[in-house]
Amino acid sequence: MQRVLVLAILSVTAVFSALTLLIVAGKAFREIRDARRRRRRNALEPLVLAYAHGDARSILPALGGGVSRRDRPVVEAILLDHVQRVRGVERDRLGRVLDELGFVETYLAGLSSPRWWVRARAAEHLGLSRAKRATPHLLRALDDDAYDVRLRAAKALAAAGGTAAVAPLAKALSEPNRFATIRIADILAGMGRPVVRELIDVFPHLSRHGKLAALDILGRIHPPEAVAWLNERLADPHPDLRARAAHAIGAIGATASAGVLREALDDPEWPVRAMAAKGLGRLHDEEAIPLLCAAMRDREWWVRANSGEALRRIGPAGIAALEGMLDDEDRYAQHQACLVLESAGMLERRVAELPSAGPGRDAALSLVQRFVRVGQTARLCELAATHRDPVVRDALARLLPLTEAAEEVVR
């Protein structure tokens, strides 16, 4: 027993001492190295930036012919830091330096490393450098075993690969890990119209969330030529896909889509109804006004909210409809109408007409009274206390139930 304990103590002490030594030595080493790197960075960064801003053909003369081995990591860090923060000519120049100084070669070699983090880092840096000749290597890396490598390769391809990369990237939307899907979607969306054809072609082969991402991308690119195809998606058996398609259709805003969106307002699933409402708002479809008013009585909050917002977007006809909804039987619809009218500034506008004598005043009185009846009086109380015009304050104070106005004044 005793011997076991002694052994335990000795081994722990040994490991402990080793750890301590490791920490101390590591820290000392790192501090010296970092101090040196900081100094070198201060010396070298202006040279690199001067090259980027200027138009010299090569950076080598400015760097005295080349970069010493110890300075390589410093220069690499400078280049990688700046290359991801700029676009255009300067970015291309910095990318060319990465090639000229041999870093791109190192990264290409790194893609074959047995260690996943080396491969991932290599792919990431190749993406930052935008070296066109890396494209075939990166395409191969899209099939790597390690998820991180696939992710970085996809990102790099989107940045460097040009149109050749679109097809494999679109297929990669089926990537099981969603973070990759988001990255790829962002990048594809950034590439714009050239991507649309490819997405539509590859669509049937994508996984469900790949399809969702593809529809999302189409919504962000909003290509008019995809409208017909998107309209067909509204018949898809899966509700999430229908909803995304409706959203994309709304984003494109083609007036021809109004009909299908109006139909989608009747969809049994609420996400589809919500997106259809949103789309109709963007289309400024006046014919949909009665349907949207009905949708304001929907059981689901998002559908009601989007419908109200859509009515507001449609314009004066929609706003008039909203004011009509204040008399509706459905309590939620009344509330929603109040909210939208308030946020659209209608309350303020009408209330400002209270001092006048004429139809404006009548409309204002009517509106305020309906708000009071619905019970949404907080903003009115606020105005009763703080409005610039004393006539308005007075009028409001008389219209509001006594207790609330008094409470407001005390505040």
Partner 1 sequence: MRVTKRILVAEDDPVTARFVGSLLNEHGYEVIVADDGDHALALAADAAPDLIVSDLVMPYRDGYEVLRVLRSDPRFRAIPVVILSMRDREEDIVRGFEQGADDYVVKPFNARELVARVRKLLEPRGP
Partner 2 sequence: MTWTRLLFDLVVGFNAFVVVYFVALNSIYLALFAVSLGEVFRFVRRTFFSDYRQIMQSDMAWPISVLVPAHDEEKTIVETVRSLLTVNYGEFEIIVVNDGSSDFTLARLTEAYELRRMDRVYKRSIPTAPVRAVYGSIVHPNLTVVDKGKGGKADALNAGINVARYPLICSIDADSVIEDNALLRVVKPFLENPVETVAAGGIVRIVNGCEVRDGRVTRIALPDRALPIFQVVEYLRAFLTGRVGWSSLQSLLIISGAFGIYKRQEVIEIGGYSHDTDTEDLELVVRLHEHLRRKKQPYRVVFVPDPVCWTEAPESLRVLARQRNRWHRGLLQTVWLHKRMLFNPRYGAVGLFAFPYFAVFELIGPFIETAGYVVVVLSFLLGLLDTPFFLLFLAASVLYGIFLSVAAILLEEVSFRRYPGWVDLVKLFTYGVLENFGYRQLLSAMKVKAFWDAVRRRRAWGRMQRRGFGVEDRRRYGGLSERTSSS
Token pair recorded at residue 299: 């059981």
15 lies in the site for partner 2, by CB under 8 A:
yes
Place of tokens 């988001």: 182
Candidate residues 76, 81, 300, 342; the one interacting with partner 1 per rule CB under 8 A: 81
Q: Which is nearer to partner 2, 257 or 336 (CB)?
A: 336
Which residues in 310-329 contact partner 2 (CB under 8 A)? none
Place of tokens 């027993």: 1
Q: Quote the CA–CA distance of 322 and 142 in Å, as a whole number.
A: 52
Please identify, among the stretches 77-85, 104-112, 269-277, 336-344, the one whose residues bind partner 1 according to the rule CB under 8 A: 77-85
> Minimum distance between the CB of residue 88 and partner 2, rounded to whole angstroms?
18
86 lies in the site for partner 1, by CB under 8 A:
yes
Cβ atoms 285, 314 nearer than 8 A: yes
CA nearest to 198, candidates 158, 232, 254, 255? 158
37 lies in the site for partner 1, by CB under 8 A:
no
DSSP 8-state symbol, 238 = S
382 lies in the site for partner 2, by CB under 8 A:
yes
Cβ atoms 322, 341 nearer than 8 A: yes
Candidate residues 148, 175, 198, 353; the one interacting with partner 2 per rule CB under 8 A: 148
Candidate residues 57, 85, 388, 411; the one interacting with partner 1 per rule CB under 8 A: 85
Which helix (H) or strand (E) is 115 found in, with range? none
Pick from partner 2, partner 1, none: which does 109 bind, CB < 5 to 8 A by kind?
Answer: none
CA nearest to 85, candidates 128, 43, 131? 128
87 lies in the site for partner 1, by CB under 8 A:
yes
Token pair recorded at residue 384: 């009763």
Q: Quote the CA–CA distance of 264 and 18 in Å, as a whole number.
A: 69
Cα 308 to chain centroid distance, Å, stands at: 24
Q: Give the count of residues interacting with partner 2 (CB under 8 A).
A: 48
Which residues in 66-105 contact partner 2 (CB under 8 A)? 84
CA nearest to 354, candidates 382, 324, 316, 393? 393
Q: Quote the CA–CA distance of 237 and 398 in Å, as a whole number.
A: 56
49 lies in the site for partner 1, by CB under 8 A:
yes
> Minimum distance between the CB of residue 23 and partner 2, rounded to whole angstroms?
5
Q: Quote the CA–CA distance of 28 and 201 in Å, as a whole number.
A: 57
Pick from partner 1, partner 2, none: which does 52 bind, CB < 5 to 8 A by kind?
Answer: partner 1
54 lies in the site for partner 1, by CB under 8 A:
yes
Q: Quote the CA–CA distance of 186 and 244 in Å, as a whole number.
A: 16
> Minimum distance between the CB of residue 121 and partner 2, rounded to whole angstroms?
8
207 lies in the site for partner 2, by CB under 8 A:
no
CA nearest to 279, candidates 300, 241, 315, 309? 309
Residue ranges binding partner 2 (CB under 8 A): 1-2, 5-6, 8-9, 12-13, 15-16, 19-20, 22-24, 26-27, 84, 117, 120-121, 124, 128, 148, 155, 177-179, 182-183, 185-186, 189, 213, 216, 220, 301, 332, 335-336, 338-339, 342, 376, 378-379, 381-382
For partner 1, the binding residues (CB under 8 A) are: 45-46, 49-50, 52-54, 81-82, 84-91
